[in-house]
């Protein structure tokens, strides 16, 4: 028997990625948009609080279990910025190009270019679930000044994986999912749910 699960996102890529791992363990994923759920506010300074707020919001408005993620890139020399503000680092409206320009500019005076992508996933059985299931993952690399690759999105063309000699944007979707922060968090979540 399958259990319907609301993904607190309207991202088709995330829906596909999550469905591939959660489908085999009995979940049928739907985006919140299919239920006319508006995006939740993300007012918090931590990934876990934002993901929990999004999951509770989607569950409250649909009456179904929900899954939310919050993720971003954290640059060590910038004190962890852009962090939870990754999508809007250069302000509104959201722009990957402007966000990347700002990170490169902010990092120019620093020798340390190390960074990591971080993802938190939160699963709630119902809106007031007192024991949400939480999983996370981190993917370490460094920021480079010149973009490379055409896959991925966001900071991927500037996120170099020194051990592979490639940026995240130079990996195929399958390669990326096997090692990324979101892939790690999703596998950890599946392990907890099974």
Q: Is 114 helix (H, G, I), strand (E, B) or coil?
A: strand
Residues with Cβ within 8 Å of residue 17, at least 6 apart in sequence: 177, 182, 183, 186
Q: Which of 7, 133, 111 is nearest to 69 (CA)?
A: 7
**Residue 189, Cβ density class (10 Å: 0-12 exposed, 13-18 middle, ≥19 buried):** buried
Contact 69, 132 (CB under 8 A): no
SS3 for 14-74, per residue? HHHHHHHHHHHHCEEEEEHHHHCCCCCCCCCCCHHHHHHHHHHHHHHHHCCCEEEEEEEEE
Put residue 83 in one of left, alpha, beta given phi > 0 → left and psi -120 to 50 → alpha: left
Rounded distance between C-alpha atoms, residue 35 and residue 141, angstroms: 37
70 is catalytic: yes
**Which are the catalytic amino acids?**
70
């Amino acid at each position: 028997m399958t259990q319907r699960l609301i993904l607190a996102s309207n991202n088709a890529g995330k829906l596909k990625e999550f469905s591939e791992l959660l489908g085999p363990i009995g979940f049928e994923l739907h985006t919140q948009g299919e239920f006319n759920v508006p995006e939740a506010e993300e007012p918090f300074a931590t990934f876990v609080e934002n993901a929990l707020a999004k999951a509770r919001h989607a569950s409250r408005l649909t009456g179904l279990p929900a899954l939310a993620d919050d993720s971003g890139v954290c640059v060590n020399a910038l004190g962890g910025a852009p962090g939870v503000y990754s999508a809007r680092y250069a302000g509104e409206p959201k722009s990957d190009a402007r966000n990347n320009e700002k990170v490169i500019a902010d990092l120019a005076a620093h020798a340390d270019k190390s960074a990591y992508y971080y993802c938190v996933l939160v699963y709630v059985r119902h809106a007031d679930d007192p024991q949400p299931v939480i999983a996370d993952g981190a993917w370490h690399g460094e920021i480079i000044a010149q973009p490379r690759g055409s896959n991925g999105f966001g900071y991927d063309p500037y996120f170099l994986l020194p051990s592979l000699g490639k940026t995240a944007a130079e990996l195929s979707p399958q390669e990326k999912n096997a090692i990324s922060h979101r892939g790690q968090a999703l596998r950890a979540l599946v392990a907890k749910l099974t």
